[in-house]
Amino acid sequence: MATAVSPKTYRNFINGEWVEPKNGKTTENRNPANQDELIGLFAAGDERDVVAAVEAASQAYRSWRRVPAPKRAEILFRAAQLLVARKEELSRDMTREMGKVLAETKGDVQEAIDMTYYMAGEGRRQFGQTTPSELQNKFAMTVREPVGVCGLITPWNFPMAIPSWKMMPALALGNTVVIKPATDTPLSVCHLVEVLTEAGLPPGVVNIVMGHGGAVGTPLLKHESVKVVSFTGSTEVGRKVSEGCAPQFKHCHLEMGGKNIILVMDDANLDLAVDGAVWGGFGTTGQRCTATSRIGVHKKVYKEFVERFVARVKALRVGDGLDPAMEVGPLVNQSQLETVMSYVEIGKSEGAKLAAGGHRLDQGGHAKGWFHEPTIFADCDPKMRICQEEIFGPVVSVMPIEGYEQAIEVANGVVYGLSSSIYTRDLNRAFHAMRELDTGIVYVNAPTIGAETHLPFGGIKQTGNGHREAAVAGLDVFSEWKTIYVDYSDRLQRAQIDTGSFGRME
């Protein structure tokens, strides 16, 4: 395919240098809104590059862990300022490589800014505990210790935000990093690391190895010097990551699929619920792990809700995310588009009512990209595959609900547990739902997307493995607690022992 200018080549970043992958291979990265536009050629590395990067990170760890945390944080503060200054250009490049509309890529960069400032603040916190000992003249405390080299495997849907969620806490705590960005969105990770380097990060503290999961991700997570693996992606791959980490008992943090629901009760503010459903379902073209992909609506307001929701969704403007008039961008790649199209067929064959969309868009301004109409299935049964499986695209399944009890049952009746939402004006019911909804994140009168960086992010059931990222909770993945007892009594004191002495006559 033709390109106007000769494409730039992006190499791996190892020990502070941009270096050719050992195999000399690259892959093309094209704009999902316009396949004629080549974003660049990116390294397609393999295990040998991983070994070199882990070696660099292991070396750098020796000194980085000893840099006082507030000094490490100063580099993050500077990086955050550079991100602020470059927000516009970084966002434009992100829209070109990933497709989501500019307002949203600005949000993505903003989320990275927020996380960088937040974790820079942790340079002067990282609080442990001091607590009384049960013995006299004995002091007890806990401190956080870094763990070592962290292997980060990041997704394409939040090309800068999610890498920052993992990188910034790791760095603030004194770890070093090897990151494997998603093959669809390596550019934003290159930009993030350029900014960190400019802000003064020493060589080897962050390294990038680009390439495919099997060639780079697997050797990264299995390398014995990699002590922490943090992965965001599908549940299927997450299971393999978990298995790969198990033999060496690595810290393994997994953030996986979702099948997030909005519940609309009969007393809901319907205007608000429709606004939330449109944004939650079709923001980021539905490609968020928090995206609203199911809506359960009380039968008393069902007809009206569906009518209004369908009308709004049919009017959404789909196109190139750099055009400010557009509200919904393309899917990230062909395979994602094909997944969406196959789920549309599944929905139809299951007997759901196609109420909006349902087709690929490939004419006119859409001819060169991976566009799909925002799609609504109505009158769905909660057991249908389109109401159970993660689609990760612009498809929302709407189900009529008998009442509150059934709403909770339907909400919890999936294997995932990331985010959920209830629209109601009944305070008692809202609090009841906050307790009963089996998800890591619950929203009241707001859609299922929109997490903020100073609160824990993550899910239960097949969404996560018991960890959280962001906030103080996110520090736990990248640190070990060390418990320290200092006995200043000058005699042997034995915890839990009532009387007597040991090995010595009284």
Among 100, 227, 288, 294, binds ligand UN1 (CB under 6 A): 288
Under the criterion CB under 6 A, does residue 72 sit at the interface with ligand UN1? no
Handedness of CA 233, 235, 241, 246 (dihedral sign): positive
CB of 436 to ligand UN1, least distance (A): 21
Question: Applying CB under 6 A, which part among 340-348, 367-375, 445-453, 474-482 lies near ligand UN1?
Answer: 445-453
Residues in the chain: 506
Question: Applying CB under 6 A, which part among 6-14, 64-72, 287-295, 353-361 lies near ligand UN1?
Answer: 287-295
Among 147, 399, 449, 477, binds ligand UN1 (CB under 6 A): 449
* Short-list 291, 300, 386, CA closest to 342: 386
DSSP 500: -
CB of 164 to ligand UN1, least distance (A): 11
Among residues 55, 97, 122, 255, the one annotated as catalytic is 255
Rounded Cα distance between 93 and 160, Å, is: 11
Give 475: exposed, middle or buried? Use CB within 10 Å, 0-12, 13-18, 19+.
buried
Among 289, 376, 380, 401, binds ligand UN1 (CB under 6 A): 289
Under the criterion CB under 6 A, does residue 176 sit at the interface with ligand UN1? no
- Comparison of 404 and 457: residue with beta carbon closer to ligand UN1: 457
DSSP H stretches of helix in 157-298: 161-172, 186-198, 218-222, 235-245, 270-282
- Counting residues that bind ligand UN1 (by CB under 6 A) gives 9
Half-sphere exposure of 114 (CA within 13 A, CB side): 16
Q: In this structure, what token pair is assigned to residue 346?
A: 């599944």
* Short-list 176, 194, 174, CA closest to 186: 194
Contacts of 497 (CB under 8 A, 6+ apart): none
C-alpha R_g of the chain: 25
Question: Applying CB under 6 A, which part among 71-79, 95-103, 376-384, 448-456 lies near ligand UN1?
Answer: 448-456
Give how far Cα 80 sits from Cα of 113, 165, 470, Å. Answer: 5, 13, 16
Q: In this structure, what token pair is assigned to residue 491?
A: 């005699």
Among 450, 456, 487, 493, binds ligand UN1 (CB under 6 A): 450
Under the criterion CB under 6 A, does residue 451 sit at the interface with ligand UN1? yes
* Short-list 58, 60, 65, 63, CA closest to 223: 58
- Comparison of 58 and 260: residue with beta carbon closer to ligand UN1: 260
Question: Applying CB under 6 A, which part among 67-75, 241-249, 288-296, 319-327 lies near ligand UN1?
Answer: 288-296
CB 476 within 8 A of CB 456: no
Under the criterion CB under 6 A, does residue 207 sit at the interface with ligand UN1? no
Q: Among this protein's residues, is 150 annotated catalytic?
A: no
Among residues 150, 252, 289, 387, the one annotated as catalytic is 289
How many of the other CB atoms lie within 10 Å of CB of 206?
Answer: 29
CB of 135 to ligand UN1, least distance (A): 47
CB of 463 to ligand UN1, least distance (A): 11
Separation of CA 358 from chain center: 28
Under the criterion CB under 6 A, does residue 158 sit at the interface with ligand UN1? yes
From first CA to last CA, the distance across the chain in angstroms is 90
Under the criterion CB under 6 A, does residue 154 sit at the interface with ligand UN1? no
Question: Applying CB under 6 A, which part among 242-250, 406-414, 446-454, 496-504 lies near ligand UN1?
Answer: 446-454
Contacts of 253 (CB under 8 A, 6+ apart): 228, 229, 230, 231, 465, 467, 469, 477
Q: Among this protein's residues, is 402 annotated catalytic?
A: no
Helix 161-172 with 102-121: angle, nearest 10 deg: 10
Under the criterion CB under 6 A, does residue 421 sit at the interface with ligand UN1? no
- Comparison of 31 and 419: residue with beta carbon closer to ligand UN1: 419
- Comparison of 355 and 422: residue with beta carbon closer to ligand UN1: 422
- Comparison of 219 and 464: residue with beta carbon closer to ligand UN1: 464
- Comparison of 352 and 441: residue with beta carbon closer to ligand UN1: 441
- Comparison of 102 and 361: residue with beta carbon closer to ligand UN1: 102
CB of 230 to ligand UN1, least distance (A): 13
Under the criterion CB under 6 A, does residue 157 sit at the interface with ligand UN1? yes
Under the criterion CB under 6 A, does residue 109 sit at the interface with ligand UN1? no
Catalytic positions are 255, 289
Residues of the shown chain interacting with ligand UN1 in the complex, contacts defined by CB under 6 A: 111, 157-158, 288-290, 449-451
